[in-house]
Amino acid sequence: MAVLGRQFELCRKEYEEAALRVLRSGWYILGKEGEAFEQEFARYVGRRYCIGVNSGLDALTLSVRALGIGEGDEVIVPANTYIASVLAVTANRAVPVFVEPDGYYGMDVDQMAQAVTEKTKAIMVVHLYGQAARMDAVMEIAARHGLRVIEDCAQSHGARFRGGMTGAFGDAGCFSFYPTKNLGAFGDAGAVVTDDARLADTLCKLRNYGSKVKYHNELLGVNSRLDEIQAALLRVKLRHLEELVREREAIAGRYLAGIRNPALLLPEIRAGANHVWHQFVVRTGQRDDFQEYLEGCGIKTMIHYPVPPHLAECYAYLGHHRGAYPIAEQYADEVLSLPMFNGMQDEEVDYVIESCNRWQGHQGVS
């Protein structure tokens, strides 16, 4: 059975009941299910407001716009993130300023501080792979320079830093509920959480053609609304999220304890942070050989991500070339995500561990 099919089976009856409840209601957009999910998710994260939107990218893009960031403004972003983080900046005609990663795959806060200029308006911090970033340092830098903070929490549902939930630190916490996420819907979906009433009001308008009252369009908005069926299904999964995270933690714990191949660099957990293991990412200087070997063992892996955003073809106009951000580029050449999903069987975890340990790699990371 496919990975997502297994996750459906874990709560099949509840999902089917939720979907039928919406279908029978006759109300499919901006209704009671969406309102209930927004309240429940805001409470889970620890924020006053939640605004459901169509996707994680829309959550980021609309947050940048709602914060008044536009043409010529600079936004600090990680050099090793998924391109969506950067697309949200450039969609608003702002300028992404890349910062190298640290050893935990988050932004290096020392380099972040050095990247601030008089044009900088915001920091977009990404809790990559499910591990919370160094939010104490990020918030201190933002406060010192009067910057806005946007948290990209697309991979960090339930992750915490020093007890605070990711998404609860910055001006806006942006979540993706793409099906493969720890809190995944059954299609595209996303949300923004915030404590700022004015920001929440602006986002509610922007997602709905710029209007709060039908046909009275106050802003140049878009159509980006979390539909009722997805909201209802997310309400089911949210009730189980903590147990789903614990299951991933258990799988990751077995990987960390069992993989003993010196050619592989295993992930580490940052002091003060917890990791919800959206991805379990290892590194090796022989990544392509290792991936081909695992494929031969019947183990499917993914690369998150093979092309850093500054080298993406669509950003050639920014003028970056290979060598501009060597750490991010090295990670892109070396990272590999091992199987990590809810419903993974013990014997499958054992097989991955055994296969990793059998691989005859010649050296570790470069």
Each residue's pLDDT tens digit, 136-193: 999 999 999 999 999 999 999 999 999 999 999 999 999 999 999 999 999 999 999 9
Q: Which helix (H) or strand (E) holds 280?
A: strand 280-283
Please check whether residue 217 is in contact with residue 76, taking contact to mean a CB–CB distance below 8 angstroms.
no
285 confidence band (pLDDT: 50, 70, 90): very high
DSSP strands (E only) in 113-171: 120-126, 148-152, 160-161, 164-165
**How much is the pTM?**
0.96
pLDDT score for 364? 45
Does residue 359 have a pLDDT over 50?
yes
281 confidence band (pLDDT: 50, 70, 90): very high
pLDDT score for 365? 47
User: What average pLDDT score do residues 80-102 get?
Assistant: 98
The Cα–Cα gap between 139 and 329 comes to 27
- pLDDT tens for 292-331 read 999 999 999 999 999 999 999 999 999 999 999 999 999 9
Strand 148-152 relative to strand 74-78, pairing:
unpaired
pLDDT score for 362? 59
Burial degree of 30 (CB within 10 A; 0-12, 13-18, 19+)? middle
The Cα–Cα gap between 292 and 43 comes to 44
4 confidence band (pLDDT: 50, 70, 90): confident
Give the rounded percent of residues in the chain with a pLDDT score beyond 90: 95
Give the rounded percent of residues in the chain with a pLDDT score beyond 70: 98
pLDDT score for 361? 77
pLDDT score for 119? 98
